[in-house]
Structure 1
């Protein structure tokens, strides 16, 4: 099979729990690039906490951020595509206020948060840009929302389902996220494949989360990490090792580096 591109999730896939890229993963990706395969990052993160890793890998491809709501140019960082989500704000804040949770709103101009936490402190350290606002989000003057993140600390389908008529819902073990209808990593991938003249059959995608399911299903070869849930694994063609054990590099070394011609689904 002729593979021309690979789309790689970050958290739980490229990165260890310590938020570092292992030497083995880095070397495997560099080998792919040297082999002429285009390597893309496709993440739920916003641009500022994606680009340092993109630069570390010396990639020149656009970055898919915020679950496909934004695509950023590698050289300038400019958003070359943005898909905003429109909610009934009064209803959203009323419903989320009824349950203890943190709310993070990713906009075209920055991050707005109900309160801080370790995740936001990490984003600020890595991205070097603090949130634009902390506090009661009903009083915040924000616009052009790309993604809402609601962190409840537990699965919350009874709450997330209330937004399914307005947004694309991604349920996590600690809450849920909302993006515009029909927006996903896969929708962003389709845009880039058209631009580069690459067929989905020539693409590998690898990830571990519910926001990766669509891309795993629709590319030529979808790969789930060993640390993924059973639902994510069921959407993939292959399951590789755990992210703490360099499962990404394991798959690349076994199937994509030079010997890929002998591999078939």
Structure 2
């Protein structure tokens, strides 16, 4: 099972999360490419350190929304969105190999159901044949598969799920899960059984190849450390998907 985290989400003098500590724990790093967070120096630093540790680097692409941290949907035309996503991939690739692409925030949620914006993500990934890290059963997963791209399905161990498999909106109760024991149990259950408990108590399918712990979640380093240990204790190998 792959363990990924969103990294490089500071900007200039502002730092968000402990990138260096998380890089020593995870197997894949989703690196902000400047549109929702991140800057060239941060991209270079994380790419270099990740290469030293054998951590795979993915482009975490976003709407052009630095002020809103990429958490606001923007109704940009699909062709223009494709250009902006390819621009972000190119920016990160200037500092080292890019192994996959993962949408961030509002783009992630939108591409799960909106075929126009999902198709822009697929079009941006296609020239380099990059795998797409995304939600199982999503429009993005289906369109990427149809385009011949590898789809890597992802589960969120520190986020709540709705009964239909979508993430609980961040401004709603149950959106964020911070109890470490609960998070470990969810991670192991997703890895072994391919299911997760939704906020209403129902158990829904969640077949995944990668588990995400957000770098900006309170106590993210301790949580990621505990989750990795919990997976190993359950006999699950923690390794990159690529």
TM range (shorter): 0.3 to 0.5
Larger fraction in strand: 1
Please say which structure displays the higher CA radius of gyration: 1
TM-score by length of 1: 0.34
